Amino acid sequence: MLTPTGELVADVRARGGAACAFNVITVEHAEAIVTGAEAAGCPVILQISENAVRFHHGRLAPIAAAARAVAMAAGVPVALHLDHVESRELLDEAAPNGFGSVMFDASKRPYGENVALTASVAAACHAAGLWVESELGEVGGKDGAHAPGVRTDPAEAAAYVAATGVDALAVAVGSSHAMIDRTARLDQGLIVRLRDAVGVPLVLHGSSGVPDDELSAAVRGGMVKINIGTALNTAFTGAVRATLGDRPDLVDPRRYLTPARSAMAETVAAALRLLSPALHP
Ligand code: G3H
Ligand code: ZN
């Protein structure tokens, strides 16, 4: 069932775990994420990024409608989140397309600009009924806040949340986007200090590159939303490659998308079993 993101996150947090948010690129991603969540018996967040919208010819509505329909038919609570948005125009499309939340990403901007822009976006989004996530890192390097060495300062994070009014904060603690091996090491001590300094839920981006033990420790330390994207694509593409490798005669996409979707669902279920409390334990 479609559930507001804020409600879903608060419920999972109250039960001592994290909400996992998985990136949707195609309809098969959305179906796989919900299948995995149903298998694990956990709530889940479907998130569509500005980059994914660009892939869909810049049109949010069709992929959002598909994800929303998949969410509404699900046997577990499912939230819809618009991720890594830099465009104000795209933010305006979130509520009308059924999203419960957005992540406004001004993390590459200098601190003062990030604060001013995020505060104004958060006010507008709250007026539209949306839960708002934003990001603060110590900007440096071409990858911005998610360059591996970048860290969020706890005192600055507390001031930032108070000044912007955001509902959740993505922090830089050692993860990095789009890793295809799981070798990232998180600054677990910093996660605890950030949790103690910042009242709102903390969000970990780039979680595909983080091994299970580090993810579990991060949730124990205070991470409440865990964003996973690349791991699904690794599963999807690996299954397609294995299916097509020695089958030049195979042309029906259902023949290779079925194992690809199953591989993603298994990845989703494994992450949820590790990090998220089941609805009926
Ligand atoms: O916002 C999305 C996530 O940060 C996904 O990162 O693709 O490295 O898992 P990832
Ligand atoms: Zn991210």
Give the pLDDT confidence score for residue 281 in this predicted structure.
Answer: 76
Count of C-beta atoms within a 10 Å radius of residue 119: 16
What region, left, alpha or beta, does residue 170 occupy, with left being phi > 0 and alpha being psi -120 to 50 degrees? beta
Please compute Rg for the chain using Cα positions: 18
For ligand 1, whether the C-beta of 182 sits within 6 Å is no
27 CA from centroid of ligand 1 (Å): 18
Atom 2 of ligand 1, nearest CA residue = 227
Tens of pLDDT, residue by residue over 32-70, are 999 999 999 999 999 999 999 999 999 999 999 999 999
109 CA from centroid of ligand 1 (Å): 20
Give the pLDDT confidence score for residue 150 in this predicted structure.
Answer: 83
Atom of ligand 1 nearest to the CA of 83: 1
148 CA from centroid of ligand 1 (Å): 14
Atom 6 of ligand 1, nearest CA residue = 206
pLDDT along the chain (281 residues), means of 10: 98 97 98 98 98 98 98 98 96 98 92 95 98 77 60 95 98 93 96 97 96 98 98 98 95 98 98 96 76
Tokens 């050692």 sit on residue: 174
For ligand 1, whether the C-beta of 85 sits within 6 Å is no
C-alpha to C-alpha distance for 12 and 226, rounded to whole angstroms: 12
Structural contact between residues 273 and 16, judged by C-beta atoms closer than 8 angstroms = no
Structural contact between residues 170 and 107, judged by C-beta atoms closer than 8 angstroms = yes
Dihedral (Cα; 213, 230, 52, 115), 10-degree rounding: 40
Can you read off the two tokens belonging to residue 228?
Answer: 């996973």
**Which sequence spans correspond to the domains of the chain?**
5-275
- pTM, two decimals, is 0.97
Can you read off the two tokens belonging to residue 5?
Answer: 């993101």
Q: Which residues are 162's β-sheet partners?
A: none
C-alpha to C-alpha distance for 18 and 275, rounded to whole angstroms: 6
C-alpha to C-alpha distance for 241 and 127, rounded to whole angstroms: 46
For ligand 1, whether the C-beta of 164 sits within 6 Å is no
Tens of pLDDT, residue by residue over 148-171, are 678 999 999 999 999 999 999 999
Atom of ligand 1 nearest to the CA of 177: 8
Q: Find the helix packing angle between 230-244 and 253-275, rounded to 10°.
A: 140
CATH of domain 5-275: 3.20.20.70
DSSP assignments along the chain, one per residue: -B--HHHHHHHHHHTTS-EEEEE-SSHHHHHHHHHHHHHHT--EEEEEEHHHHHHTTT--HHHHHHHHHHHHT-SS-EEEEEEEE--HHHHHTTGGGT-SEEEE--TTS-HHHHHHHHHHHHHHHHHTT-EEEEEE----STTGGGSTT----HHHHHHHHHHH--SEEEE-SS--TT-SS------HHHHHHHHHH--SPEEE--GGGS-HHHHHHHHHHTEEEEEE-HHHHHHHHHHHHHHHTT-TT---HHHHHHHHHHHHHHHHHHHHHHHS--S--
Task: Out of 101, 133, 146, 205, give the residue to mutate to test ligand 1, the one with the largest number of ligand atoms within 8 Å of its CB.
Answer: 205
